[in-house]
Every structure is written in C-alpha cells, then in structure tokens.
Amino acid sequence: MIALLTGSVVALEATGCVIDVNGVGYLVQASTRTLSALPKPPGVARVLVETVVREDAILLFGFAEAAERDWFRLLTTVQGVGAKVALGILSALSPKDLVTAIAAGDRTGLTRAPGVGPKLAVRLLTELRDKAGGMPTGVSLATAPAAAGGVVADVLSALANLGYRRAEALPAVERAVAAEGEASLDAILRASLRELAR
C-alpha cells in the first residue's frame, strides 16, 4: 500500500493532481483544500496517501494533513459515503468545521457538500456523533455547548432565528459563555452577537 508520496507536481486538476516520483506519475485525487495547499508545477509536494483497492482499479487519495486523511477514513465508514462524497465533504468543511457541525447538529452545513442530501446529513450526524470526539482537530465534543442545554440552547435557537447557521453560531456562543460565565440569556445573547460581529 502507498502511504506517502514526495515528488514534483506535474499537473493540478479540479479533482486531483499528478505527482512525479522518480519518473513515475501517480494520479492522486484530493479535496480542493489539499489541492490549494500544493505548490504549482513543477514544485515539490509531500502528500499523505490513502490507497483504495477495488476490483477494477487502484485509487490514490491525497491529503495535505493527517487530520484530513483521518476524517476521510472515518467518513467512508458511514453507509452511503464513498470516496468521492468524502472528498466533497472535506472540500466544503475543514476537519475543525466538521467537528463543530456534528456537535451543533448542523444538517444544513453538511448539505453544502456535493453529494450530501438531507437524509445522508442525518445519517452522518447520527453515526459520527460519538466517533468525532476523538478526531484530531483541537475541538472537543465533550465541551461543546450544544449538549449543555438551558441558556445555551435558547441562545443558539435565537441566533438561528436571526439567520445564523448553528455551525457559525456555536463557536461564538462558546466564547460568550467562557467570557460571561453563568449569566442571563440576554447577556449571553448580546455577547454572542458581539462575537459574531468580529
């Protein structure tokens, strides 16, 4: 199995790249996030690789960072999520954004990814809720305020009514709660709006 490629970038395309390693060109499919991190041809790139062997092909999927590769592996364990859909999700959401979306139960944020409809978004939220906490992103689901209920849930609901998506509102509410402590609903809401305005 191929786990890492280091070589010259020969071509960058919309869904992948060709990396020349000692005269052998490897076609590597990647997210737009990884492709944007690669140098322009003929720059030298180092790409983490996930090798997928199928009956009719051997496919290479490349990642600029280990967290994205780990999320790719986790996403493809969900029924209905193949490699192409997983790359689409990782193109639309960074690993940190994925943890935030899952913690917030943000179906709308997940459906921004190509190939993810409302039913698949619900399946992703359901199946990954318990697994996402151990992913390397620096955000802990255990400390996410979405599970705290009470004032935080009311503030998130109010912000949703004002047009904010849960994925963008959740970090702001988290910072507001950290700054204000156990304050009233109005105080947390005002602090959250100030955070969102930054």
In the prediction, which pLDDT does 100 show? 81
In the prediction, which pLDDT does 61 show? 96
In the beta sheet, which residues pair with residue 60?
28, 51
For range 115-133, the mean pLDDT: 86
Strand segments, DSSP code E, in the chain are 4-12, 16-21, 24-30, 44-53, 58-63
**Which of 179, 180, 184, 122 lies closest to 158 in space, CA to CA?**
184
Domains detected in the chain: 4-63 (2.40.50.140), 66-141 (1.10.150.20), 144-197 (1.10.8)
| Cβ–Cβ under 8 Å, residues 195 and 172 | yes
Structure confidence at residue 182 as a pLDDT band (50, 70, 90): low
Q: Which residue has the higher pLDDT, 167 or 17?
A: 17
Provide the mean pLDDT of the chain: 84
In the prediction, which pLDDT does 30 show? 95
Say yes or no to pLDDT of 157 above 90. Answer: no
